[in-house]
Structure 1
Amino acid sequence: MASFSGSSLLFSPSFLINTHTKSPTSRVSQICRATNTPKQNINIEDNISFDITRLHQYHNLNEKSSTFHSDKLFFVDHERKIEDVKHLLQSTAENNPTEGLVLVDAIQRFGLDSCFQEEIETILQQFYKTTNDCIYGLYTLHDVSLFFRLLRQHGYYISADVFNNFKEKDGKFRGKIRQDTRGLMELYEAAQLSFEGEYVLDEAANFSSKILQESVAAGHMDPNWSKMITNKLRRPYHKTIARLTEKDFFQDFQWEKTLRELAIMDLHKERSVYQAEVRQISEWWDKLDLANNLKLARNQPIKWYTWSMAILMDDISLSTQRVELTKSISFIYILDDIFNLYGTQDELTLLTEAVNKWDYAAIDTLPDYMKTCYKALLDTTNEIADKIYQMHGHNPIDSLKATWASLCDAFLVEAKWLASGNLPTADIYLKNGKVSSGVHVVIVHLFFLLGLGGGAIHLKDTSQLTSSVAAILRLWDDLGSAKDEYQDGKDGSYVECYRKDNEGLSVAEAQEHVIGMIENEWKSLNRECFCENHNLASSFKKASLNLARMVSVMYNYDDNQRLPVLEEYVKFMLFN
């Protein structure tokens, strides 16, 4: 029963290896046993890009890079390219509105939309006014799908009924669109933004994915198209961190040279900021010295930072927010390890009571190995609350304390379940599991770090959004554990609880049920972000979506128990 931190990954030169072997026994014993097995002997030079000492070797290079980025000529060139793209947007939208939408989509995928928010909004608003009433029957499958996706992403009302125009009288999609590969790819992308009850989009997703998979399997397609389709089915744009598809765009998407150059310049600027933030996190973590006090616990500051980097990637200026959010995420991991690797039931009860009290005097009630961590949790959280007060004028310490207390309460419940060997029903497990996922801790810190909560917007307005993201993480994590070749579904996960509730159900059937649940939670999250909660800041909704998008990256293990997608992302964002 893992938290936000997921399966315990022991720190090695690469944090991308799952060192846990699984067994049919409780997760507590399984983790302890895995922890006591020899670590894989990995040459540190083979994984040098993930070694924190390597990042410090970038220091002199980054100073030069920083000087370069602050150079007047660099900024003049950067601003000139921004102006060039603005003119490109305007002229393309005027001369060919549909191609203008394609350009808007490309800008978003390159992660450049923050530079062109006004221009993009103007284009979409104009297109919506002139096109929405006559969209039925007037555009190709590709154009309608792209139009639908972009407008829904930006909060415009558009009915999924637009896709009924591509059906026969019998209610099935027309046979002739089976040959429209480009249109089917865009239809599949559009279907990812569905709400509950939009059955035409469920049909669209099933239909398009089936035809595209068959086309790839037939082997008659150009290899580049085959690769593009495979990547799209595996990582649909809406459910994937944008930068993960950026390389594909550099390779496969033919667009204006200016846009490519601007994207490269922006990425270089971002890398210098991100690398500086990682060094800041590393220095903070080393100063805490928790790695020496809790030697069995994880020591993965780069991985913890990667969550924050992805969550707040839409605004490079949010450096303080990324650093402070990483600190809170690190304690989710450490507390998870204390509950899983160290504590007896009595000790964990003492820790939970102490966190609920939030009192330095409670340190004396704790065993020695918990004292440093408990003090560091209080110190760090109080410092974060003070920084939020300095930035936004209100102190959220009561809300921050409450979310840490809820997390430890949920951890303790799971520890008792595992110790007793009596698993709850699937519904009870998931209700507690959404809390123990740690998502609520992240969302609450994120809410206040972004300056919300001081006015008409209240934390309670995020409850459904938080619930959906937490369920996505919990179910993804449990699904990955159940799929592990050593696991056989017996890990105290939702899969096991669901099979216990439904006698005779196979692991595969339970997994299919979980996949369906994840899809439904995405639909709920889509509604919260694109239809409901208009008072919530767009920055907060984008960050929450990015949190959900990172789940599949953080839990996408290959057959060797490595995380190749995460490895690709970290290398691309921080080192390449």
Structure 2
Amino acid sequence: MLLISKESSSLESMVIIDKLQQLGIDHLFIEEIGSTLSSIYDKYVHDHEHVGDLFQSTLFFRLCREHGYDVSPNMLNKFIDNKSGEFNLSSSKDIKGLLSLYEASHLNNGEEILRKAKEFSSKHLWDSIQWLETKYAKQVRQTLEHPYHMSIQRYKARQYIANHYQDDHQNGCQDVLLELAKSEFNRVQLLHKRELKEVLSWWKNTGLAQDLSFVRDQPLKWYLWPLTVVPHPHLSMCRIELTKAIAFIYIIDDIFDVHGTLEELSLFTQAINKWDLSSIDVLPNYMKICYNALYKITNEIVDITLKEYGWNPINTLSKSWAKLCNAFLQEAKWFASGQVPNKDEYLRNAVISSGVFIVIVHLFFLMGNGLTKENVEQIEKDPSFISHTGAILRLWDDLGSAKDENQNGFDGSYMELYMKEHPQCSAKEAHDHVMLIISRTWETLNKESFSQTSFPRPLVRASINLARMVSVMYSYEDDHHLPMLDDYVFSLLYHSV
């Protein structure tokens, strides 16, 4: 199915590519999108083709950077006032251009011009809401609250399909792409329902909800992580198996945080480090149950990797669980003794205890891409694209409102430690400081995502997807309710289009 005509202008072609992404069907046109963008980029670099107005310039920049092309935001300098050094006020009424500028600003690798772009576009877009028609004001607000790059893209596609359908229905327009998007969304939704059913069956058969009654019983919530991290339909096996590993992050976290004594936790950590069933004799029964179940599921993942890719990951996987438990134990020791660490020492450890390392390492083997001795050695060292995602998760979790309704323990807070070290700082100032760190960490994560790396791009993108899910999973209201997460669940799993 050829969508982009050779006679189409660069702008027309980019608009179609953007539409395919917004509709969530770009994975069906990978080759055509790749060849078209390559041609557009070559015209810009070699033929010095004029990129155009604010909308076209920012769309070009965003699409090229998203797809790994080396493009500098300095191309936006033509929209900067030479005297003030700020964006021209003449652009402040160009809503279409401002929306595109705002979207592009989130693909920041640490460039100051994109920080200015975000500040300028967000200010004028918020101001525009009061005079725009209701339909357009709603679109602006949705973009401001959920920019594409920072959002779960299947969720964004669900919203786009619904809104687009209303517009087309009013105009009597029959959009082939829209129908394809709806069909694809519903097809994938059925696949995800089958996967969730398998996960629920697995969890029930383990008996862990009964044997370890103090741990969180949230298989749906655990499945939502893989659903976001690896959304493409062909990765069904990865989602199911990864959910099982994620379940044990939560289980072990609850053992450390709300149930085990410090002596028991030390023995459990020693046993995990040895990774030998004979070492569990000294453990209390509830820990034996957890250890045996973890040992079993880990070996099942090992068998899958051996069968699919001819690689035995047992050493790396067992080390990853030891690393997690060592971090949990460090937190338990700190807060049992009252000897609270400084904020930086706490965060270094908390990046590991976030569980992100476990998720990406397991996914690395389940996906099977880039399985080389060098990459295995590197991933064991917790590369920065993993640790930055871990930092984003933990900092969001520590903002204070992120308190799981079924968890009663306390394992520290970066924000509280920051305020302890800066007693003159108000809670709002501390909150703003944490949000700034998250923003800067995102910029670094972006840079790694868009640059060349020895790790396969799908793995790095999975880490980006995990970071996108964090704000959904941890945006608690005062009553510990998660409205964003609830809407996410119903939109993606229970409401067809």
Please give the range of the TM-score, normalised by the shorter of the 2 chains: over 0.9
Q: 1:160 matched to which residue of 2?
A: 73
Q: 2:446 aligns with which of 523, 526, 541?
A: 526
What does 1:35-434 align with in structure 2 at a 5 Å threshold? 83=1, 87=2, 89-91=3-5, 94-132=7-45, 138-170=51-83, 171-196=85-110, 198-216=111-129, 219-253=130-164, 257-313=175-231, 315-434=232-351
Consecutive unaligned residues of structure 1, counting only runs of 5 or more, are: 1-82, 485-489
Contact 2:195 2:240 in 1 (8 A): yes
The question of 1:501 aligning with 2:421 is answered yes
Distance 2:46 2:82 in 1: 22
The question of 1:567 aligning with 2:482 is answered no
Consecutive unaligned residues of structure 2, counting only runs of 5 or more, are: 169-173, 405-409
TM-fit CA distance, 1:503: 2.4
Contact 2:346 2:414 in 1 (8 A): yes
TM-fit CA distance, 1:352: 0.7
Distance 2:101 2:49 in 1: 15
Q: 1:445 matched to which residue of 2?
A: 362
Q: 1:511 aligns with which of 421, 431, 454?
A: 431
TM-fit CA distance, 1:231: 1.3
Secondary structure of residue in 2 paired with 1:340: helix
Q: 1:553 aligns with which of 459, 462, 472?
A: 472
TM-fit CA distance, 1:453: 5.0
TM-fit CA distance, 1:137: 6.4
Secondary structure of residue in 1 paired with 2:263: helix
Identity value in percent: 43
The question of 1:476 aligning with 2:406 is answered no
Contact 2:161 2:178 in 1 (8 A): yes
Distance 1:508 1:546 in 2: 28
Secondary structure of residue in 2 paired with 1:497: helix
Q: 1:15 matched to which residue of 2?
A: none
- Structure 2 length-normalised TM: 0.93
* Count of residues in Structure 1 that have an aligned counterpart in Structure 2: 479
TM-fit CA distance, 1:455: 2.5
Mean Cα deviation higher: 134-143 or 268-277: 134-143
Secondary structure of residue in 2 paired with 1:479: coil
TM-fit CA distance, 1:99: 2.2
Contact 2:4 2:16 in 1 (8 A): no
Contact 2:356 2:386 in 1 (8 A): yes
Secondary structure of residue in 2 paired with 1:458: helix
Q: 2:171 matched to which residue of 1?
A: none
The 1:270–1:224 alpha-carbon spacing in structure 2 relative to 1, beyond 3 Å, is same
Residue identity matched to 1:481: S
Distance 2:237 2:155 in 1: 24
TM-fit CA distance, 1:354: 0.8
Distance 1:336 1:278 in 2: 23
The 1:456–1:181 alpha-carbon spacing in structure 2 relative to 1, beyond 3 Å, is farther
Q: CA RMSD in A?
A: 1.9
Contact 2:401 2:475 in 1 (8 A): no
Secondary structure of residue in 2 paired with 1:220: coil
The 1:571–1:251 alpha-carbon spacing in structure 2 relative to 1, beyond 3 Å, is closer
- Structure 1 length-normalised TM: 0.80
Distance 1:501 1:135 in 2: 53
Distance 1:177 1:574 in 2: 40
Distance 2:51 2:336 in 1: 63
Distance 2:143 2:17 in 1: 18
Runs of 4+ with >4 A deviation: 133-138
Contact 1:110 1:242 in 2 (8 A): no
Residue identity matched to 1:518: I
TM-fit CA distance, 1:182: 1.1
